[in-house]
């Protein structure tokens, strides 16, 4: 139980501290706005940042300050797919170490037909799937990698299913999270999964499918740092304390997006070598007075097609209206993928029954039994 009385001193000063932060943010915003308004064109920015190995670099041509809109409703022949995943992590205190990855997807057609729901589950319990060479149980990070690959693979699978009906191209597939690999990519195991990731992207490009990673409430100060790199001198030793989202929510109108950017990094270089550099932009999928700034990512082969980018924006804005900033197909995909506590309990009862039928006497660890007993209080 949390003893709130022990926090009273900190709680009492919280309002004052937050007011000081607000004043600092307002000053930072004014400085950034001056930089933004006086920034040169995109080609000049790229030339100035050519030597930088990391950070945002704008793509295309024209003005950095250009915001782009799209029709409020996609064409009736449009098809969009949302995909998300969830998992049960392995636990060496459990009756049997295992893990489950479940992926859910929704195919949404704008021609009046009802959406179709899909889900797929992966169950792993064999020793070679659970333990490394030193005998340690697979980590949450490794399961997360497996889930990333499973989600992208399911995007392709559902896109192919939609393509069998002969819709116009492209089919746009939304994933909940980044397309740029969020891990280091240094281990041999991770490199194998990453290659599978690239193989799936290649199949998507051949099928003319546009994968889009949707990052709601993204962190980071990539755009802020880019502006600082352009205008820094001895009087500006560090960028202002403001995130990209905090900056853009004052600037980016509802239903519009920024130009595309490429974020240079060692992982981006691996994508580029494989033929799939990832571009990103910011989108306001909120409403007037209630901005919701999201970052979206897509491979350059898709992002640089103006008609595809226009359709993507139209879909994101239209799909986000019912849920005030989160695309409907992703919300439904999350529901389809979700593994509840009751699901886990039902699965483990099945495991106990099957093992008992084969003469085993499964039993959780003492720690797991104690936690289960305390959880019933």
Contact 90, 138 (CB under 8 A): yes
Position 240 scores a pLDDT of: 67
What's the confidence (pLDDT) of residue 369? Answer: 41
| pLDDT at residue 363 in the model | 64
Res 287: pLDDT: 92
Assigned domain for 165 exists: yes
- The residues of the chain scoring below 70 in pLDDT are 233-240, 363-377
- Give the pLDDT confidence score for residue 95 in this predicted structure: 81
pTM of the predicted model as reported, rounded to 2 decimal places: 0.89
Domain that holds residue 314: 68-338
In degrees to the nearest 10, what's the CA dihedral of 160, 171, 296, 105? Answer: -50
* Together in a domain, 265 and 298: yes
272 and 244, same domain (yes or no): yes
* CA gap 77, 70 in Å, rounded: 16
Same-domain pairing of 246 and 97: yes
In-domain check, residue 266: yes
Are residues 323 and 182 both part of a single domain?
A: yes
Do 89 and 232 share a structural domain? yes
Residue 23 lies in a domain: no
Widest distance between CA atoms in the chain: 76
pLDDT 10s digits, 269-290: 999 999 999 999 999 999 999 9
User: Domain tally for the chain?
Assistant: 2
Say if residue 256 is in the same domain as residue 141. yes
The pLDDT of residue 85 = 97
Select from 189, 206, 292 the least CA-distant residue to 249.
292
* Residues 232 and 358 both lie in one domain: no
- Is 91 found in the same domain as 198? yes
What pLDDT shows up at residue 252? 97
């Amino acid at each position: 139980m949390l003893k709130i009385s022990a926090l009273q001193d900190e709680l009492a000063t919280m309002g004052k501290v937050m007011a000081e932060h607000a004043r600092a943010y307002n000053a930072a915003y004014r400085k950034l706005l001056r930089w933004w308004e006086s920034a040169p064109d995109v080609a000049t920015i790229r030339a100035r940042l050519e030597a930088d190995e990391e950070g945002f670099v704008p793509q295309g041509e024209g003005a950095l300050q250009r915001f782009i809109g799209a029709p409020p409703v996609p064409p009736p022949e449009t098809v969009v797919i949302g995909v998300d995943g969830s998992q049960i992590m392995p636990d060496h205190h459990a009756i049997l170490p295992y893990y489950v990855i479940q992926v859910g997807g929704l195919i949404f057609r704008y021609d009046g037909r009802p959406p179709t729901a899909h889900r797929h589950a992966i169950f792993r319990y064999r020793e070679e799937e659970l333990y490394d060479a030193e005998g340690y149980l697979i980590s949450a990070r490794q399961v997360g990698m497996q889930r990333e690959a499973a989600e992208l693979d399911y995007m392709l699978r559902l896109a192919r299913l939609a393509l069998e009906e002969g819709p116009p191209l492209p089919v746009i597939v939304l994933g909940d999270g980044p397309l740029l690999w969020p891990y280091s990519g240094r281990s041999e195991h991770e490199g194998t999964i990453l290659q599978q990731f690239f193989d799936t992207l290649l199949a998507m490009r051949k099928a003319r499918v546009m994968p889009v990673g949707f990052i709601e409430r993204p962190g980071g100060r990539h755009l802020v740092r880019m502006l600082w790199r352009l205008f820094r001198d001895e009087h500006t030793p560090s960028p202002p304390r403001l995130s990209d989202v905090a900056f853009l929510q004052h600037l980016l109108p509802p239903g519009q997006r920024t130009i595309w950017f490429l974020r240079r990094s060692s992982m981006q270089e691996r994508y580029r070598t494989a033929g799939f550099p990832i571009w990103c932009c910011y989108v306001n999928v909120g409403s007037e007075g209630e901005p919701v700034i999201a970052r979206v990512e897509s491979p350059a082969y898709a992002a640089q097609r103006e008609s595809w980018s226009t359709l993507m924006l139209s879909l994101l804005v239209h799909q986000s209206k019912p849920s005030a900033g989160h695309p409907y197909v992703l919300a439904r995909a999350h529901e389809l993928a979700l593994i509840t506590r009751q699901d886990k309990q039902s699965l483990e009862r099945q495991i106990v029954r099957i093992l008992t039928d084969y003469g085993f006497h499964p039993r959780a660890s003492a720690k797991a039994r104690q936690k289960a007993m305390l959880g019933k209080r």
